[in-house]
Amino acid sequence: MLELQNRPIPGQYMALFPFLLSPQLWERPGSIPPLTRLIQAYIEKNPDGMKDSVNSILGIFQKLIASRSNDHFGFYLLNTMVENLDKSVLQTFLKSVFSLLFQRMQSSKTTKFMKNFIVFMSLFAGKIGAQLLIDTIDSIQQGLFGMVVEKIFIAELQKIAGETEKKITAVGVTKILTEGPAMLNDNYVRLWAGLLNALVQMFEEGVDNSTPQDEHFIEIEDTPGYTTAFNQLIFATKKPLDPFAGSVTNPKVHLAESLKKASVRYPGKLQPLIQSGVKGPAVSKLQEYLLSANIASLS
């Protein structure tokens, strides 16, 4: 019902909101899916009214992200906040959020977690800014973003599946390549062509569905505490929304156009990187993207 309400949300709905943040409500696994969707609806419908609740919502996120079964629900909340809340509201909490994510990755890395982490970082870069993403991660440890590019983006990009997820990832990686100045300075320029290669491979090659033999993460449908029928009933009509529907139509053309703009800002910088670092079929595919965007060459 709340998802059907127009802004502003009626007062009786907002009166209920503080009770939804009670930790006791989130103890039952079966309550997590509908509660997550409800909190998302509140954020989407009343972003200005969430300023005083960000810390409490992130407390729920922290609980969910620690669970191999429920970490995806934590990312749902995080993504909704990134899409709807002002950067100034989130900025105070960013370092803590990323620290929690890296701690979880170190203690219990799963394929599901890594895919969600990539989509989240890509959404962050696309919506809030690539340079802020880089600066926030490097504020945890100098040079850490280089590891993120090499060990997460380049290594895992091929595992991203789903039309919306792939588009979010493509837009975010394009922003990192073309709107993050740190990617073109001495610290990270060595990774630039490798990241571009990985993006073209994501566009053109099949999804890598392999998982480590010792990985036994729980699929969403197998999460204990609610049945498949309940899952289908709750989520049947909620389709993934494209956060870039109004700004990016074709991610490949968007990449080409963004590369052109970046080549104007950094004349003589991109073409040598592409010539020396982009390999194999990616060379011809990149040329196809440029032609599709009516771009003859980069500066």
Separation of first and last alpha carbons in the chain: 52
Lowest mean pLDDT, pick from 9-13, 208-212, 281-285: 9-13
Buried b (16+ CB within 10 A) or exposed e, 10-24: eeebeeebeebbeee
| CA pair distance 180, 146, nearest whole angstrom | 13
pLDDT tens readout for residues 7-66: 666 667 788 899 999 999 999 999 999 999 999 999 998 999 899 999 999 999 999 999
For residue 12, give both structure tokens. Answer: 């009786």
pLDDT tens readout for residues 249-277: 999 999 999 999 999 999 999 999 999 99
Q: How confident is the model at residue 214 (pLDDT cuts 50, 70, 90)?
A: low
CB 85 within 8 A of CB 54: yes
CB 96 within 8 A of CB 57: no
Work out the number of other CB atoms within 10 angstroms of the CB of residue 243. Answer: 20
Q: What is the mean pLDDT of residues 220-246?
A: 54
**230: pLDDT strictly greater than 50:** no
Average pLDDT, the chain: 89
CB 33 within 8 A of CB 235: yes
Contacts of residues 214-223 at CB distance under 8 Å and 24 or more positions apart, as own/partner, are 215/110, 215/111, 217/68, 217/110, 217/111, 217/112, 217/113, 218/68, 218/69, 219/112, 220/72, 223/29, 223/69, 223/70
CB 88 within 8 A of CB 47: no
Calculate the CA 164 to chain-centre distance: 11
The sign of the CA dihedral 141, 133, 153, 291 is negative
Lowest mean pLDDT, pick from 7-21, 138-152, 179-193, 274-288: 7-21
What is the pLDDT at residue 277?
Answer: 94
**221: pLDDT strictly greater than 60:** no
The sign of the CA dihedral 253, 195, 184, 164 is positive
pLDDT tens readout for residues 54-107: 999 999 999 999 999 999 999 999 999 999 999 999 999 999 999 999 999 999
What is the pLDDT at residue 6?
Answer: 60
**283: pLDDT strictly greater than 90:** yes
**1: pLDDT strictly greater than 80:** no
* pTM listed for this prediction: 0.90
pLDDT tens readout for residues 155-188: 999 999 999 999 999 999 999 999 999 999 888 9
CB 136 within 8 A of CB 94: yes
What is the pLDDT at residue 215?
Answer: 62
Q: How confident is the model at residue 232 (pLDDT cuts 50, 70, 90)?
A: very low
The residue among 157, 252, 172 whose CA lies nearest residue 207 is 157
φ, ψ for residue 134, nearest 5 deg: -60, -50
CA angle in degrees (0–180, nearest 5) for 170-173-174: 80
**5: pLDDT strictly greater than 80:** no
